[in-house]
Amino acid sequence: MGLFRKLGRQVEQFKTDAKEAAEEYEVYQCEDCGMRFSEQYEQCSECGSRKITRIAQE
What are 9-57's pLDDT values in tens digits? 999 998 888 777 666 666 899 999 999 888 889 999 999 999 999 887 6
pLDDT of residue 20: 74
Residue 18 and residue 10 in contact, taking contact as beta carbons nearer than 8 Å: no
* Every domain of the chain and the residues it spans: 25-58
Gap between the Cα atoms of 21 and 5, Å rounded: 24
3-state secondary structure 1-58: CHHHHHHHHHHHHHHHHHHHHHHHCCCEEECCCCCEECCCCCCCCCCCCCCEEECCCC
Residue 23 and residue 16 in contact, taking contact as beta carbons nearer than 8 Å: no
Instruction: Evaluate if residue 58 carries a pLDDT over 60.
Output: no
